[in-house]
Amino acid sequence: MLYASHSAPAAQPVLVLRLTGRNGPACQYTDVLRGQGLSLIECFSFEAANDAIQAGCRVGLLSVTHVADLAHLDKCEPFVSNTRITWVGLVAQELIPLPRMREFIGEHLFNFISIPAQLDHIVLTLRHAWGMAYLRDFKNASSIQPTPLNNDGDFAMVGKTPQMLQLFSQLQKVARTNASVLITGPSGTGKELAALSIHRQSARRNAPFVAVNCGAIAPQLFQSELFGYEKGAFTGANQRKIGRIEAAQGGTLFLDEVGDMPYDMQVNLLRFLQEKTIERVGGNDSLDIDVRVIAATHVDLAEAVAQGRFREDLYYRINVVCIEIPQLADRGQDIEDIAKYYFSKFASMHNRSLRGFSKAAMNAMLSHSWPGNVRELVNRVQRATVMAEGRFIQPEDLGLNRGSADTQLMSLEDARAAAERTMIRRALAQSRNQISRAASLLGVSRVTLYRLIEKYNIRPEVITGAGRSFAGNAGANADMEAHK
């Protein structure tokens, strides 16, 4: 019974994602499907696919016909997991028994068809998928859709890159549960916005969202701020005060910068997380507390645990689900989208005569490293809308100089060398300078990694935490000599 599919337009748009790009083989059923009244939109990049979704595509067709296509599944997985589109797979029969293919089908596809296949079967499946997508959109439109925005609309999570689509999907998944969440990422990436998005999409959305900056509370006030106090509990306690935890009753408690919490205060928080009860300072009654706990930090808590700066039992208590927020410099096109979003907001407040960003200003933003992440970008755009004198924002209005090295393009060779140096240092740091493990992370041989280390003059003392695994590796020079 597929009556729902007949509610869709006659020329149903179907997104055809080409994993191998323009140079790869085309889907063998494209022409005949168009003859059946389906409007196929072939996309060779995620940006083009996003545009197709914005234009109304609700069904996607993914063709996996060769073993080589499996290598592209990891790259497209964050995009395919986007719940706004229903995916149907055309899969070569010999690939279906492969574990990776089965895992991908089970997790991300509405349905799949083994090829070679009957044309009628493909058309029927696509129309069924379109009908289910239509019903889903109808249900969403008739219900309140929580969005990753603050109530007052001051700030928003903006992005359509694969990293952000994956992040939005993760936020939506964890919002359905009451599990504790740890949000990690550099300062300024929007960790509190992510926590607020989880709250707004959860069943607790109508209850309080209480944020606590753990690093901003003086140690001597920490317990009274979190747990509250009774009248007369100490000098100056003239009346009972409700603590932050109790104020979040029924809602969400957001512990920002939990990695900066004083060590001797961590045990108090741990007891609350274990028992779900608190006692106000100066009181004897235990109060049952029903809150969902979300913590955030820019600190590497695993490293803090190893150094004795953070309790291991508290770390595992708050780290049930870990979500990492990507830094702005890794988000490409999102830089332009965020800048335009906040320009439209601030220009209406400060300077209505502004028309947008000049080409030089946009190039300067795309070339900037953004150490302050989204917070820095928002501040620079707001500053520019205040300081700009012409009709278009210039690099100087953003505080970015035209002639600075940061805004100049480098050659591809220099960019490749810089990228290799950065990734080698990261791999060595992550592997604690174990060459074999670092080479495995980078997907190269040990010999190749030794050559690159020598080529870029990456010395042990330059790498954070360098130790015996790298500097003291007696086999390094021997391996190099043997393969020169």
pLDDT, tens digit (0-9, with 9 covering 90-100), for 107-130: 788 888 888 878 888 888 888 887
Burial class (CB in 10 A: 0-12, 13-18, 19+), 55: exposed
Residue 244's pLDDT is 92
Q: What are the two backbone dihedrals, phi and then psi, of residue 254, each rounded to the nearest 5 degrees?
A: -105, 115
| Omega cis (within 30) before 116 | yes
Strand partners, 322: 182
CB 299 within 8 A of CB 256: no
Residue 278 in 3-state DSSP? strand
Query: Please, which residues have CB within 8 angstroms of residue 461's CB and are 6 or more apart in sequence?
Result: none
DSSP strands (E only) in 238-367: 241-242, 252-256, 277-278, 287-288, 292-297, 321-324, 356-357
Residue 137's pLDDT is 64
Residue 462's pLDDT is 42
Residue 60's pLDDT is 82
Residue 10's pLDDT is 45
Closest CA to 366 of 377, 354, 355, 382: 377
Residue 145's pLDDT is 37
Closest CA to 90 of 68, 110, 64: 64
User: CA 385 to CA 343: how far, in whole Å?
Assistant: 7
CA distances from 153 to 65, 334, 342, 350, 375 (A): 46, 19, 11, 17, 16
User: CA 292 to CA 181: how far, in whole Å?
Assistant: 9
User: CA 328 to CA 186: how far, in whole Å?
Assistant: 10
Name residues of the chain where pLDDT drops below 50: 1-10, 141-153, 404-407, 460-469, 471-472, 474-476, 478-484
CB 62 within 8 A of CB 56: no
Strand partners, 43: 17
Closest CA to 18 of 84, 62, 57: 62
User: CA 109 to CA 88: how far, in whole Å?
Assistant: 6
CB 233 within 8 A of CB 206: no
Residue 111's pLDDT is 87
Phi-psi region of 38 (alpha: psi -120 to 50; beta: other; left: phi over 0): beta
User: CA 481 to CA 479: how far, in whole Å?
Assistant: 5
Residue 110's pLDDT is 85
Q: Which pTM does this prediction carry? A: 0.56
Helix pair 334-350, 359-367: axis angle to 10 deg: 130
DSSP class of 44: S
Closest CA to 20 of 64, 60, 61, 57: 64
